[in-house]
Structure 1
Amino acid sequence: MMAGRILFCFFILSLQVGNNRSIEDIVHFYYLPGENLIITCFDLSSRPRRIFCRKNCQGENVLLNTTSNKAARGRSSIKYSERVHDKSYNLTVRVSNLTFSDSGLYRCGLTDSPFPPDNKFMAVVAEDLLDGSKNHHLHKEAGSSLTVACSFSFSGKTKYFCRGECEEGENILVYTDGVRAQSSRYNIGHNKHESSAVFYVTIKNLTTSDSGRYRCLSYLSSGKNSYVDFNVFVSDISSETTDPSPLDQNYRATSRDLPLTLIFVTLAVIIILLSAALIVSYRKRSVRGLERRGSGSQQMETLASGRRPSGDLIYENIEPASSNQK
């Protein structure tokens, strides 16, 4: 999957690049999972602070904000350099071991104001690298986006992205004989300074109706072409986000609460039974103790009452004999 391969992409961004540029107009760079993003912003005006950030450059989107010439945090790092001969300043930014979640808008530059840098670029990270060697099945949720890289054995002049086969015009979603193109929710592109044997296709804001078979096709002017097919299944999550009917709410509430109710009832019953068993056992022991004490006192009284007559009899038998001897 070409993980760990480093792409060195350099481009010139001037301070004249304003915030009025749309996302479609911003330079795009394409990557595979595991690769490293390395971009150098050239010809910057001298400013004390080096900034590398994402999106609006606020909060967690600020990757690095420093006055040092070198800095790193997590997977992000920057390196500042000065070209003495022409007094220009460069800032190289890097994000290592890219994942699909790293896709998005980035900003980099030098500044002495609280405003984010004007220099922007888009990083597009594919979810997977697809080729024609096997069937590919991708599962997505409605509302999400899908980006895949299609790999070919040759670099075709024209690249197509189609729904089903590309034989009919209405099946062609987007195509280009250049670097990048966009049509509605569909994008196709590749890195400008690299071979287009690998190009990237994107579907934004997926719906359940987007489920189906798709094709990437690379076409040469000689008529030679090659394609990669893949299947997309988009699951519907609207049933979980929409408000259910009262009956559904009662059923779901009951089904969710039932296990907890059973647990609490079971614990209560066990506690009651254990308490009852302890009480019964304690009472039985108390009764047995009383019975033992009562029987013991009766035996002592019986023995005492039995010994007195025998003692009296012995005493009475001996007494007359003594008197007769006298």
Structure 2
Amino acid sequence: MKVRHTLMVFFFLYLQDGNNGLVKVQLYSGAEGGDVRVKCPSSLFGSWKFFCKEPCEQEDILIETTYVRAQKGRYSIEWMRESRYVYVTIKQLTKSDSGLYRCGFESSSQRIEVIVIDALLDGDPSEEKTLYSRTGGNVLVACYFNTSESRKYFCKGECKDEDILVETTDFTAQRDRYSIRYVPVAPSGVFLFVGITQLTMSDSGRYRCVLDRLLSTDPYREFEIVVTDGCVND
């Protein structure tokens, strides 16, 4: 799949299960096949530093060290002396890397979410807008807008009423195989994550992620999906 490798980072409030209320989660997103670098709480030299995927049992620890840096497979961890922050890099991202993580050191950790996407669309006319996949696969696209709006939707073709796949005035919505997720970015702007699972040949076509803004000159991002039955060459 030919996509632009992209990294973006922002903060949002995530509703934690149970009675713990809202906790702040760092959200990072990178393109499949690319890399993502996450920032963890500051630590002291020589302290135990770790990165794990939730539920973060012993078998879920992906990398750990008491040294300045370490590498294990696709994961690397480094303590930066100047800032004393810990940075973790995941290389060659795959869709299975999406999920919740924790990283930090002995006495402090940060909850992190990683979302692996197929493309970021930010209005740049030169950006890649055609995604290639095969039947049974999934597509997830991040659309960036400079302003926000209450109604968001994901549609196919010309986006007439009958073409709307999923819409919401909330933060997330799911309808059959289609999903949409709205994430505000401080200090301004929003991301819409739109996705399709279990792709079929009939899913080939043009799509839009849309903010319902009257008199706007930039109301949507558009991309094309090409679904094939055979192998797809990168």
Tell me if both proteins adopt one fold, taking TM over 0.5 as the criterion: yes
**Deviations along 1:157-195, whole A, 9 cap, x unmatched?**
432111223221x32222233443333322222444344
The Cα shift of 1:237 comes to 4.9
In 2, Cα distance between equivalents of 1:219 and 1:37: 33
TM-score by length of 2: 0.62
SS in 2 for 1:133: coil
SS at match of 1:209: helix
Deviations 1:131-165 (A, max 9, x none): 47368322101121111222446444432111223
Pairs within 5 Å for 1:270-281: none
Structure 2 residue 101 is the aligned partner of structure 1 residue 107: yes
Paired position in structure 1 for 2:221: 228
| Alpha-carbon distance in structure 2 between the residues aligned to 1:9 and 1:39 | 12
Partner residue, 2:199: 206
Whether the 8 Å contact between 2:8 and 2:29 is mirrored in structure 1 is no
Q: Which whole-Å deviations, capped at 9, do the CAs of 1:197-227 have from their partners, x for residues lacking one? A: 542211122122322221111222x453622
1:162–1:172 CA contact under 8 A, matched in 2: yes
Aligned partner letter, 2:120: L
2:9 counterpart residue number? 7
Comparing 51-60 with 144-153, which one deviates more in the overlay?
51-60
Q: 1:28 to 1:110 in 2, by over 3 A?
A: closer
Match of 1:72 in 2: 70
CA gap 1:92/1:144 in 2 versus in 1, 3 angstroms: farther
Matched to 2:193, the amino acid is Y
Match among 162, 172, 189 for residue 180 of structure 1: 172
Task: Say if 1:13 and 1:233 are closer, same or farther in 2 by CA, change over 3 A.
Answer: closer
Equivalent pair of 1:52/1:78 in contact (CA under 8 Å): no
Larger radius of gyration: 1
Q: Which residue of 2 aligns with 1:275?
A: none
Distance 1:164 1:75 in 2: 40
- Do 1:7 and 1:35's aligned partners in 2 also have CA atoms closer than 8 Å? no
Aligned residues of 2:40 and 2:103 also touching (Cα < 8 A): no
Q: Deviations over 1:257-316 (max 9, x none)?
A: xxxxxxxxxxxxxxxxxxxxxxxxxxxxxxxxxxxxxxxxxxxxxxxxxxxxxxxxxxxx
Q: Show the counterpart of 1:147.
A: 140
Partner of 1:316: none
Give yes or no for the alignment of 1:31 onto 2:33. Answer: no
How many Å apart are 1:110 and its aligned residue?
A: 7.9
- Describe how 1:206-285 pairs up with structure 2 within 5 A: 206-220=199-213, 222-224=214-216, 226-237=219-230
Could you say what secondary structure the match of 1:143 adopts? coil
Q: Are the counterparts in 2 of residues 11 and 40 from structure 1 also a CA contact under 8 Å?
A: no
Residue in 2 that maps onto 1:128:
119
Identity %: 28
Q: RMSD between aligned alpha carbons?
A: 4.7
Greater strand share, 1 or 2? 2
Please, what TM-score do these two structures have when normalized by structure 1? 0.47
Give matches, 1:35-46, under 5 Å: 36-38=36-38, 40=40
Task: Give the number of aligned pairs.
Answer: 209
5+ long unaligned stretches in structure 2: 80-84
